[in-house]
Chains A and B, each alone.
Chain A
Amino acid sequence: MTDPSHTSPTRARANPLRRTRRPLLPPDARSRAAHLLTAAAARGRFDLPCCRGCGRFVWPIPEACPDCLSEIATAPAPRGARVISITTAEMPADTYFRERAPWRVGLVTLDCGPQAIVHMHPDAVPGQDVRLTLMLDRAGQAVLHAAPKGAAMQADPQYREMTADPAARRVLITDARHLAALPLARALIQAGAHSVHLGVPEAWKPLPTRAAFEAIAGVRLVDLDITSDRSVTDLAADLAGKVEILVNTADLPRPGGLLGPAAQVQAREMSEVIAQGLMRLARAFGPAMAGRGADGPHGAAAWVNLLSVFGRATPPGWAGYGAAHAAALSLSQVLRAELGAGGVRLVTVLTGPTDDDWFQTLGAPRVTGPALANAILKALREGLEEVAVGDVALDLIARLEENPKAVERDLARGSLS
């Protein structure tokens, strides 16, 4: 088995006697209307304020259109813009930016009309056409970022500051038995992760993928049962201060409605793994991660919860499972706030039924391990906060936004779509 504690070329060992830099956040106050942008940025959508009456795009987001005074909503907008001017804030008044000065910022005129002040990629020059992204900054608030088309985003330290690129970072995947665990471990190592630890619950039970994991350089299997206080605290004692990205894949899918004979006991077990387990992990690993949000270029960056979309809308045949995931979604909100204070992003990845035994009777399309792995990598690299994977999840979420009552009735009638 290879030793994941090797010092990679991109990651030097830190001086253990130096004080850890405490995380600061960029200015995080926003008007209530501006939170429409937060919702879009969290999902990686480029939706800008747009007048419901005349269709004009406006920036910043006003309470009424400056042309026709109609209501403002957000709408998908073209992403192009032209740079008017660029500067670097050498002595910003704000402490967060002061620590990271010089901070590169520019004034652009958007193809869809208004002007905006944006975070600026180092390759951009005045007069150039650039591509805008609406993304979440370290405070979890929406900001605009501009880069020339085709520019390497991770080459911009300001972009890296707002995202959770796995390169040179240490990752913990909590359950190696999940079908996404092996493709995710491979993808993370390929993306340049310094190491990937995977938790194996009940290691005395066979792990068919054990040899495949051990064949990947930088991967290490460790004992971890997130339903056990002792197991979680023992692993946290060794690892909590070293995890920069945590991906929680612990799950226990068991179909069953409310009324079947085994349903209550199974529901309790599912709750223990999916909800209580998440809370236990959060208590053991959360504080250390939140404290290391600004610990150098590869400090703590993201916590990913891989959850079922059934937590948002529960089919009657998945009662206990849906309830456990609903609890996990609720805990995720709280954990997001706790980690957010340290600039660590909590990513919720909602998936429909996956392509493994427990969802066998649910028809295609089911979500594969590689699809989940890719979605997680994308979320980390782009700083996303809300991700849905697969047609079933995307469809359910869209329908929930439109009319939750209709979804409830459809599911009760036995239809997932």
Chain B
Amino acid sequence: MTRVLETLARALSGGGVRIVDLTQTLRDDFPTIVLPPEFAPSAPIRIERVSHYDAAGPSWYWNNLSFGEHSGTHFDAPAHWFTGRDRPLGTVDTMPCAHMVAPACVIDCSDGAALDDDFLLTRPMIEAWEDRHGAIPAGSWVLMRTDWSARSGAAYAGLRDDGAHTPGPDAEAIRHLVHARGILGFGTETIGTDAGQGGHFEPPYPAHHYLHGAGRYGLQCLTNLHLLPPKGAMLMTAPLKVHEGSGSPLRVLALVEGEDE
């Protein structure tokens, strides 16, 4: 074993690295993306009990799971969007494992999102963050902290008569992060890497458009971003290895320096 991993193992068992779970519990009442109903719907999250130490199976308890690939805390692969359909290694089973462990920058937008459901992360805000914390390194995740995960139910979904109202990046911000900063992927606490009203932006759903068009990734429905430092956390994001999959629910873990609180 190299000394780095040895050091890491020691750190993990109480010596200076802790694990933060950025994952929402996968439950059947967790809000999912709502599309216009004419389109084929993604299956809702369902946990179907097969047996529970009973006549259906005396010594065991197990469930059938069913969900769309993009349910709960989940990962978007490039193949998910039309702009990424020709990207090589663009599905969850072909993407490089090296991309499944990566550093993360966390941009705190919680104050703005508390006042405005449609709060947008803009390029000036990113540049202001970089003035304080240094440039966003290429190959890192950028996570938009909004504390949206403290909400639940209708407040979390943000649906109104004219669609969803949840925060996200504007088109220029995400284009800049993808093309000028070379980020690995973008993550949010909301349903969707795009803002709720992103369908009205140019291009529509710019986060999906630019991220996946460039062979990058998305993370959604994250939580506990307030426990991460602005820089320095390491994200572990290994989606299910589904044949030709466009994404999947997953356990997102962050390694963070410092003792348990």
Instruction: State yes or no: do A and B touch (Cβ within 8 Å).
Output: yes
Bound form: Cα–Cα A65–B159 in Å: 68
Residue interface bits B205-231, CB-to-A below 8 A is 1, else 0: 000000000000000000000000000
| Complex partner residue of A204 from B31, B39, B160, B161, CB under 8 angstroms | B31
* Contact present for B40 and A265 (CB under 8 Å): yes
- Give the contact stretch, choosing among A89-97, A225-233, A382-390: A225-233
A229 touches B47 (CB 8 A): yes
Chain A contact residues, CB within 8 Å of chain B: 202-206, 223, 225, 227-231, 254, 261-262, 265-266, 268-269
The answer to whether A228 and B40 touch (CB under 8 A), given A203-B154, A206-B159, is: no
Complex CA distance for A225 and B153, rounded to whole angstroms: 14
Q: How far is the CB of A42 from chain B (nearest CB, A)?
A: 35
CB-based contact B157/A204 at 8 Å:
yes
| Secondary structure call for the A interface | loop
A202, B43: Cα distance in complex, Å: 13
Question: Could you tell me the distance between the alpha carbons of A359 and B156 in the complex, rounded to whole angstroms?
Answer: 31
CA distance A261 to B157 in the complex (A): 28
Q: Which of B39, B47, B152, B156 is within 8 Å of A230, CB to CB?
A: B47
- Complex CA–CA separation, A90 to B43 (angstroms): 60
Residues of A within 8 A of B48 (CB): 229
B29 lies within 8 A of chain A by Cβ: yes
27 contacts between A and B (CB under 8 A): A202-B31, A203-B153, A203-B154, A204-B29, A204-B31, A204-B157, A205-B159, A206-B154, A206-B160, A223-B29, A225-B28, A225-B29, A225-B44, A227-B46, A228-B28, A228-B29, A228-B46, A229-B46, A229-B47, A229-B48, A230-B27, A231-B29, A261-B40, A262-B39, A265-B43, A266-B40, A266-B41
Minimum Cβ distance to chain B for residue A247 (Å): 23
Select B41's contact among A204, A229, A231, A269, beta carbons within 8 Å.
A269
Which residues of the other chain, B, contact A261 by a CB distance below 8 angstroms? 40
Which B residues are CB-close (under 8 A) to A205?
34, 154, 157, 159
Known contacts A261-B40, A262-B40, A269-B43; A231/B28 CB under 8 A: yes
Rounded to whole angstroms, the CA-CA distance of A230 and B30 in the bound complex is 13
Q: A204-B154, A231-B28 are in contact. List 13 more A-B contacts (CB 8 A).
A: A202-B29, A203-B153, A204-B157, A205-B34, A206-B159, A206-B160, A225-B29, A227-B44, A229-B46, A230-B47, A261-B40, A262-B39, A265-B43
